[in-house]
Amino acid sequence: MSFPRIAVRRPWRLAAEASALLIAVVVAFPLYWMVLSAFEPAGEIESTEPRPWTLSPSLDSFRRVFGQREFGRYFLNSLVVAGSVVVVSALIAFLAATAVTRFRFRFRTTLLVMFLVAQMVPVEALTIPLFFLMRDFGQLNTLGSLILPHIAFSLPFAIWMLRGFVKAVPDALEEAAYIDGASRARFLWQILFPLVFPGLVATSVFSFISAWNDFLFAKSFIISDTSQSTLPMALLVFYKPDEPDWGGVMAASTVMTIPVLIFFVLVQRRLVSGLGGAVKD
């Protein structure tokens, strides 16, 4: 379905297109500056006459970043944390979303309202009780202390969003599957799951971002065993507010942003259609 051609007069359309391109440049500029600074040799970044290009691209900053002890480890940790959160919360949310859309049972509406309310809970405020919970279960300084809370925090939004997708699958399809002799499990995983997969991708974007971005929990729960830390902490090694190593910060930032960018570009179409589908509801 394409947007109808609303008659827009030519000069207006050209003006609109020019401003769209200009805004795109402005929005992309910080990322451009990040990559540029990452490739600049030390003297050029710390020049008081910044230039929007570099005369002699250098990999020094990247060498410094990867030369930092355990940077690769941090990267891997971040991937493990974000990956587990995405997979586990997608599966749990899928099951829960089917329950609240394809069954009628007591407390269904109550549960939906509770999922909605759960989205509003400021997770930052829960850092204190979670700290003691993780301590009591011996989870401090483990990746589990980062994975588990993020699964819980991404669930309510994921369930709420997936609901629209599961609802959109016609009931007749389910009837037909049963008549053809499919078991409920078979219908669930072999028919429904692939059908709502685009929705799962869209919701995954949100859980991925929340886990990959995590700064507060990594800062609060990984206190003594830094080998269990994640990328934001690695980046801050180079960022000393008084004397920042801008080259190192920007190189680490680039390394940290690229995987998310790749993920976004891969799911871009599904994300846009997914958001449309979820909110149409």
Find the binding residues for other proteins in span 196-225 (CB under 8 A): 209, 212-213, 215-216, 220
Give min distance, CB of 59 to other proteins, in A.
19
Size of the site for other proteins (CB under 8 A): 117
> Interface residues for other proteins in 116-155 (CB under 8 A)?
116-130, 132-133, 148-149, 151-153, 155
If you ran DSSP here, which 8-state letter would residue 228 be given? G
Cβ atoms of 109 and 47 closer than 8 Å: no
Binds other proteins by CB under 8 A, chosen from 60, 79, 80, 102: 102
If you ran DSSP here, which 8-state letter would residue 191 be given? I
Q: Is 181 left (phi over 0), alpha (psi -120 to 50) or beta?
A: left
> Interface residues for other proteins in 38-57 (CB under 8 A)?
45-50, 52
CA distances from 218 to 17, 81, 182, 212 (A): 43, 11, 45, 11
Binds other proteins by CB under 8 A, chosen from 77, 203, 207, 253: 253
Binds other proteins by CB under 8 A, chosen from 72, 138, 175, 194: 175
176 lies in the site for other proteins, by CB under 8 A: no
Give min distance, CB of 43 to other proteins, in A.
11
87 lies in the site for other proteins, by CB under 8 A: no
Rounded-to-integer distance, Cα 182 and Cα 174, Å: 9
CA distances from 243 to 51, 64, 240 (A): 21, 16, 5
Binds other proteins by CB under 8 A, chosen from 75, 250, 251, 270: 250
Give min distance, CB of 63 to other proteins, in A.
19
CA distances from 198 to 94, 125, 168, 271 (A): 12, 32, 12, 8
CB nearer to other proteins: pick between 56 and 180: 180
